[in-house]
Structure 1
């Protein structure tokens, strides 16, 4: 829980490390509150910003050459493994505001994130 005592509101996020790699981790985060940018802020404030986060991290894309230290490719032609903020909502559960129906939605990991994980698991 982090609070900007002067301007902020309390926000709570629960973290679970799923897998660790040399420079990256796969983390499951369950926010208890729904503040703007909550997960991104909490990750950055604990010293572990989300990959490719341009606002709270360095915003730099994840390249294969970062993961495979002996990679010998053309640095000018290298395409990013992940070029967007590395944040994915695996599951959302809520009560629909227009009818009160309970909604529980799941989404598989996108292809770019799956490809990055596959490369990380090889090292």
Structure 2
């Protein structure tokens, strides 16, 4: 069993307990959290409560995360691009096209399969299909991910994500020419009621903030860097579409007429966090993939 203790912030005051907890970790589903609450694995100020409990600033929430079931995902030898590794954490550069963790009916070829072959010790907090996974990036997004090798590291990294102290900067190519050099998109994201596989800006969605600045402008496209303040599913893709500049190559949120790419032009290039054991701030940068660089060169020649 692993205990995670959180304190409700002023910003979270008045929200339902299950909603607050589902926002703590993108890998915790609302239904999973509600089951934990029913099972008595969640207390507020030492007392059992219901999922619809309205939180107060300063409330101390304790979550007893159940032990992970024995893992039946098959380790697979892969040539992983590892940027950093020690006894607690691992930073890996995921290629575009690779799924982060297995799902029912799709249990091979994922980053988790490769990680299990590379190292035997991964945090079990997120269960059998997601060992060590603290956050994730979409299949067709490339770039850096931090992985927890034990539960102490996992808890620390999750708390840093909740406190918004993790540095996550992405580079993207978007449709259209953005006239202003910088901007902030503050718009809540929720599941699209008309398409359950998609996310959208939605009034009752989860708080989501993306900052961006323009790196380069082309005739019909803009090269931008986005910094995440929150980490919602498909956040950059949804936010950039929302302001009228969808990502190039995005099959879900972008226009059909786009650049010839294998998925959205999005790369998680910079990742920084405080090491769970040493307290040292670590930051890593992964260069753009070759296809991304070649696309930029083509746009420069055409502009």
Q: TM-score, normalised by structure 1?
A: 0.74
Distance 1:85 1:95 in 2: 29
Q: Measure, in 2, the Cα distance between the counterparts of 1:5 and 1:84.
A: 28
CA distance in 2, matches of 1:10, 1:92: 21
Superposition CA RMSD, Å: 1.8
What's the counterpart of residue 235 of structure 2? 38
1:119 is aligned to 298
SS at match of 1:114: helix
| Secondary structure of 2:267's aligned partner | coil
Distance 1:118 1:96, change over 3 A: same
Partner of 1:74: none
Show the counterpart of 2:203.
5
Distance 1:102 1:60 in 2: 42
Q: Secondary structure at the match of 1:121?
A: helix
Structure holding more strand per residue: 2
**Match in the other structure for 2:247:** 50
Counterpart CA distance in 2 for 1:60 and 1:108 is 27
Provide the residue aligned with 2:272 in structure 1.
Answer: 93
Which consecutive residues of structure 2, in runs of 5 or more, have no partner in the other structure? 1-185, 189-201
Once the two structures are TM-superposed, the CA of residue 61 in structure 1 deviates from its matched residue by: 5.5
Specify the SS of the correspondent of 1:90. Answer: strand
Q: Secondary structure at the match of 1:54?
A: coil
Q: Tell me whether 1:26 sits opposite 2:223 in the alignment.
A: yes
Return 5+ residue gaps in structure 1 as ranges.
Answer: 63-79
Work out the CA distance in 2 between the residues paired with 1:101 and 1:38: 28
What is the rounded CA distance, in whole Å, between the counterparts of 1:21 and 1:113 in structure 2? Answer: 15
- CA-CA distance at 1:103 after TM superposition: 2.9
CA contact (8 A) 1:51 1:59 kept: no
- Residue aligning to 1:104: 283
1:84 is aligned, of 263, 284, 289, to 263
